[in-house]
Structure 1
Amino acid sequence: MGITRQMGARRFGRWNWLGLYELARREVMRFLSVWTQTVLAPLVTAGLFLAVFALAIGPSRGDVMGVPFLHFLAPGILTMTVIQNAFANASSSLMVAKVQGNIVDTLMPPLSAAELVIGYVTGAVARGVLVAVSTGIVMVVGLGVPLAHPFVALAFTILGAALLGGLGLIAAILAEKFDHMAAITNFIVTPLAFLSGTFYSIEGLPGWLQAASHMNPVFYLIDGVRFGVIGVSDSSPALGFAVAAAATAAVLALSWYWFRTGYRLKA
């Protein structure tokens, strides 16, 4: 006599590992198939940022927090590049599926809301880490930037990619067309990246701006990567990791809830 499966139980078990693997693989292959746009272009952009700053103010700029200006700048540009690409990977994948009407191909398979979120965010993290590693190699070899705590830098990089990957899912769920997505990118993501200590130390800001910067989770990501690379930071790395982890958990939880309820995803 066969064993009756409990109502609501899936024949795949608690986790559909095969489905999760295939979704994550699809997201990774999606950006690798156009690597010149998704990996090479961010590397060139980061290099241009460093070149412009080096030519414009590098020779006349003194040390910042006890290190050469370009060494201080490099981790900020690396982190900014990572989070922008992680956001773009998750948001564009889901947004294209919604606009083209093939989101059903993702929602219909036996994948839970948690598995969908993990699959999409895995692609964002993979792209972010790949961009970080390629950019980091150029910075270390080309500029002689040190690596004081490489595993700390890697941990903050992964956390940042996960945070912005989740934020990309939220943006794609809310947006109804590409104009909406462009507005979110231009008015939310870009200011968060640029006004978070990427190009400067917040120690030189007025008190109220310092307080505002400490409310920005991206500041802690950049500050954490900076500590991992050059060994100095504006705030405690432990505090930064806790704040960034809490923000990431909140963003992923909201993404999970909207996938679970089908908010703006199901007709």
Structure 2
Amino acid sequence: MTFRTIAEPAPAERVPDRPMGVRRFGRVNWLGLRTLATREVMRFMAVWQQTIFAPLMTAGLFVVVFALALGQGRGEIMGLPYLVFLGPGILMMTVIQNAFANTSSSITAAKVQGNIVDTLMPPLSGGELLAGYLSGSVVRAGLVATVIGTGMVLVTGRGIAHPLWALGFVLLAALLMGGLGILAGIMAQKFDQMAAITNFIITPLSFLSGTFYSVDALPEPFNTLSHWNPVFYLIDGARYGVTGVGDAPPLRGFLICGAVVVLVLALALRWLKTGYRMKA
């Protein structure tokens, strides 16, 4: 007969295996992030006639209407033919509207249809949700900018003066408006509320920020107020990147827009982490 004089240690508790396919490096769920990003991209690519081709047609109609109505009898603006001046503004206006629509419609539709739980239940952090949603806005904005920019170059016969500046401001626009779309989607409880935000806030901001005119021609106090509008710097920065001419120094506009992007994304990250107005 044998006796145990020392208590044997309890068997180590078995740690459950990680679900197959889930990989985390540095606490990032790369599989979940990639899945959400892919879903956001495929969501608008499934209806590319509405999300890519329709903006091209709208931009073309703007150019035709303004060129025929004003272009023939109007002189140069900032030393540029009116059609050349108009193109970058329409490009950025379209980018702004599409980047905002991508995130806002995705979240609002999920809340209205009741399947937002499919996004909240997987092991995704607030930062991963933010990055996944923003990836759709960035890809959509990039595709729209590429299509319209190509058409603009073909119509005007001019190349891009500063490609890196143009690319930088398009990226800032996608991040800023994608972040605002997340905030709007979280706040809105139905499509009517989202339509009100789009019609009364986003569309006026994109139209009244130097898209069709130079803000230097505005009387006071509208000229000063325009320089407090970050959307103005997005449009003016894109115009500088395409034509080499702008109302404001591009570096100043880039820094202002970058600061606003950080603030908007910080608020969006906080709301996604806490589940504000989403975990109902």
TM class, shorter-length: over 0.9
- Aligned mates of 2:45, 2:155 — CA distance in 1: 25
Q: State the partner residue of 1:199.
A: 212
Scaled by the length of structure 2, what TM-score is found? 0.91
Q: Of residues 24, 42, 64 in structure 2, which corresponds to 1:12? A: 24
Shift of 1:12: 2.6
Q: State the partner residue of 2:6.
A: none
Q: State the partner residue of 1:34.
A: 47
Amino acid in the other structure paired with 2:158 = V
Structure 1 segments unaligned to the other structure (5+ residues):
none
Within a 5 Å distance, the mapping from 1:33-112 to structure 2 comes to 33-112=46-125
- Aligned mates of 2:129, 2:231 — CA distance in 1: 24
Scaled by the length of structure 1, what TM-score is found? 0.95
Q: State the partner residue of 1:117.
A: 130
Shift of 1:3: 9.7
- Aligned mates of 1:92, 1:139 — CA distance in 2: 28
Q: CA RMSD in A?
A: 1.6
Amino acid in the other structure paired with 1:105 = D
Q: State the partner residue of 2:7.
A: none
Q: State the partner residue of 2:172.
A: 159
Shift of 1:111: 0.5
Moved more, 175-184 or 139-148: 139-148
Shift of 1:143: 2.1
Q: Does 2:237 match 1:224?
A: yes
- Aligned mates of 1:74, 1:146 — CA distance in 2: 12
Q: State the partner residue of 2:8.
A: none
Q: Does 2:162 match 1:149?
A: yes
Q: State the partner residue of 1:260.
A: 273
- Aligned mates of 1:171, 1:153 — CA distance in 2: 27
Amino acid in the other structure paired with 1:189 = I
Shift of 1:146: 3.0
Shift of 1:11: 7.3
Amino acid in the other structure paired with 1:12 = R
Q: Aligned residues: percent identity?
A: 61
Q: State the partner residue of 1:140.
A: 153
Shift of 1:210: 1.2
- Aligned mates of 1:27, 1:67 — CA distance in 2: 38
- Aligned mates of 2:118, 2:24 — CA distance in 1: 19
Runs of 4+ in 1 over 6 A off after TM superposition: 1-5
- Secondary structure at the aligned position of 1:215 is classed as coil
- Secondary structure at the aligned position of 1:207 is classed as coil
Q: State the partner residue of 2:194.
A: 181
Amino acid in the other structure paired with 1:43 = L
Contact 2:107 2:185 in 1 (8 A): yes
Shift of 1:151: 1.5
- Aligned mates of 2:123, 2:88 — CA distance in 1: 40
Structure 2 segments unaligned to the other structure (5+ residues):
1-11, 17-21
- Note closer, same or farther for the CA distance 1:3–1:159 as it changes in structure 2 (3 Å cut): farther
Contact 2:23 2:31 in 1 (8 A): no
The superposition leaves residues 146-187 of structure 1 with CA deviations (integer Å, 9 ceiling, x where unpaired) of 310012101100110110001001001001111100110011
- Secondary structure at the aligned position of 1:57 is classed as helix
- Note closer, same or farther for the CA distance 1:242–1:2 as it changes in structure 2 (3 Å cut): farther
- Aligned mates of 2:67, 2:131 — CA distance in 1: 39
- Secondary structure at the aligned position of 2:71 is classed as coil
- Note closer, same or farther for the CA distance 1:187–1:4 as it changes in structure 2 (3 Å cut): same
Q: State the partner residue of 2:4.
A: none
The superposition leaves residues 109-137 of structure 1 with CA deviations (integer Å, 9 ceiling, x where unpaired) of 01100110110011011001100000000
